[in-house]
Structure 1
């Protein structure tokens, strides 16, 4: 970026404060925020006349008021596809970690209390043959489906739109029009849909109660899709067998009652954290900015009507 543009970099690897964001949007032609920056209508109201593009470093734009930005003549771009494989890998990792009790095993080894192998110690569950219900069958959901099938799982899914027959057949995936019916019959629920007003608490208390007592849920998408308080209550009561969470409803503020549960695996939003993924995200940001600077439509333009 420094070779192409006059760039003001933020070297500190931490979220910008509100005041810093205001300062940035008042002076810049292009803002490059991350998924932790809230670009809402009150902030956009303070934007300077020069700001014409928000080139988001990340695929998710749920924290950007895209409609208000467009009304003010500000385009928004993102970096789709760059985190697909990495997030799908982490989804499978969480499924294995929860069902095979990997963190519990690590704690036993770390404590020095392991007394050796025994027939009934650390018994988990076999994932082959289990039904996985994927909530959200976009790029990441389909990548999860391919991996799940390779592990011998039966793939089911619920999506806003049903996949084309040839795609569905290639994935060997069964479509459920009713999310309630799918949730009630799955052994594993994988959350892979974006956070939008329509998906906020999509897995609410009522829907969580439909899950089988021996089922587990994993979330590598957005924490707001699950009612975290309801999930915590059910996990503590043994009404759900386990959970693997890489994202949380209140960002980095994690419900403390989740922290001490042996049947829960918590990760610090690592789903897309690979060197390769971060580099690809940066490359897409640069392409979007350069294309816009050259007077053309950014290739990854976000359109409010299709969010």
Structure 2
């Protein structure tokens, strides 16, 4: 007798090969855009017990209530800030995520943004294509002469720090809520202190209400006209209006962003900044990371429906489980 295939509501886009892997294990209800999502939750998905989403697409308390049989929300990737975890806890809905699945990809992308921004790669490329070979040649800092500051020394922050220190011989400082006893980097007690001591400030902290607009006008002023802001975490950590003003006024030297508050909508004034490099929240997208995230999501779902402990509950659920 074949095992029962559990229906799975998928709220995020997938490439065909990864979608096929999900379909091999589950009866997938695929709703990766707002309209299909609303239609599925109101109809075909009403009886599902499992949802697959990510930190940007999230899942609201109201949507949980519209799925009365829901037992587990599997988050594809590390961040889960738009999944209403307190509501899930109240309803005894398990929430899992993917710590460690995309660390290397995101850390690599951080340096793609750092090098592109500091070494003026996009501007030089555009100028050469426009026939301005000599105009495109400019002097840009060597990374080994720059101080790297990391906001959030989690797995991704540590991977960025290692690349900076060992690969580019950068001096490294960081800020966490508490110092990390095993970190060989300079600890700064506040974000302002870290910005003031950094030439390149990498945002690698979790999103959510507690960190919203942690990078504000004061922090950007402390970073200064020779400083670069790199965000590979969540757009909500940066005050976009303050960043727009700082970029256009030359208050900072430049910014490299993989995330923007309110994405995929990006303010035109931000896009018009000449000293900006921006990518479409793609830092976690590599074949290795995508494979890791898909495999772990499926393992968490399989464990839950087999009555076994899930592998990677979100911290709030881990604390409840003890």
When the two structures are superposed, what TM-score results if normalisation uses the length of structure 2? Answer: 0.86
Give 3-state SS (helix, strand or coil) of 2:104's partner: helix
1:161 alignment counterpart: 178
Work out which of the residue numbers 152, 173, 194 in structure 1 matches 2:169: 152
**Alpha-carbon RMSD:** 2.0
Give 3-state SS (helix, strand or coil) of 1:162's partner: coil
Q: 1:45 to 1:32 in 2, by over 3 A?
A: same
1:85 alignment counterpart: 104
Work out which of the residue numbers 208, 220, 228 in structure 1 matches 2:220: 208
CA contact (8 A) 1:228 1:249 kept: yes
1:106 alignment counterpart: 125
Q: Which structure has the highest helix share of the two?
A: 2
1:66 alignment counterpart: 85
Q: 1:9 to 1:257 in 2, by over 3 A?
A: same
How many Å separate the matches in 1 of 2:37 and 2:25?
27
2:52 alignment counterpart: 32
Deviations 1:15-41 (A, max 9, x none): 653343444652211111133323112
Q: List alignment gaps of at least 5 residues for structure 1.
A: none
How many Å separate the matches in 2 of 1:21 and 1:111?
50
How many Å separate the matches in 1 of 2:121 and 2:244?
20
How many Å separate the matches in 2 of 1:237 and 1:253?
23
Tell which has more relative contact order, 1 or 2 (C-alpha 8 A, sep 6+): 1
Q: Tell me whether 1:284 sits opposite 2:296 in the alignment.
A: yes
How many Å separate the matches in 2 of 1:116 and 1:247?
31
CA contact (8 A) 2:213 2:237 kept: yes
Question: Cα offset for 1:263?
Answer: 1.1
2:61 alignment counterpart: 41
How many Å separate the matches in 2 of 1:67 and 1:208?
33
2:94 alignment counterpart: 75
CA contact (8 A) 2:201 2:228 kept: yes
Q: Tell me whether 1:56 sits opposite 2:71 in the alignment.
A: no
How many Å separate the matches in 2 of 1:100 and 1:20?
47
Q: Aligned residue pairs: how many? A: 296
1:242 alignment counterpart: 254
Question: Cα offset for 1:124?
Answer: 1.5
How many Å separate the matches in 2 of 1:24 and 1:176?
51
How many Å separate the matches in 2 of 1:290 and 1:273?
24
Work out which of the residue numbers 270, 273, 286 in structure 2 matches 1:261: 273
How many Å separate the matches in 1 of 2:53 and 2:42?
12
Give 3-state SS (helix, strand or coil) of 1:27's partner: coil
CA contact (8 A) 1:25 1:46 kept: no
Give 3-state SS (helix, strand or coil) of 2:28's partner: coil
Q: Tell me whether 1:195 sits opposite 2:193 in the alignment.
A: no
1:129 alignment counterpart: 145
How many Å separate the matches in 2 of 1:142 and 1:193?
11
How many Å separate the matches in 2 of 1:24 and 1:62?
26
How many Å separate the matches in 2 of 1:134 and 1:233?
23
CA contact (8 A) 1:79 1:281 kept: yes
Question: Cα offset for 1:189?
Answer: 0.5
Deviations 1:40-77 (A, max 9, x none): 122222222x2101111221110100111111111001
How many Å separate the matches in 2 of 1:128 and 1:305?
42
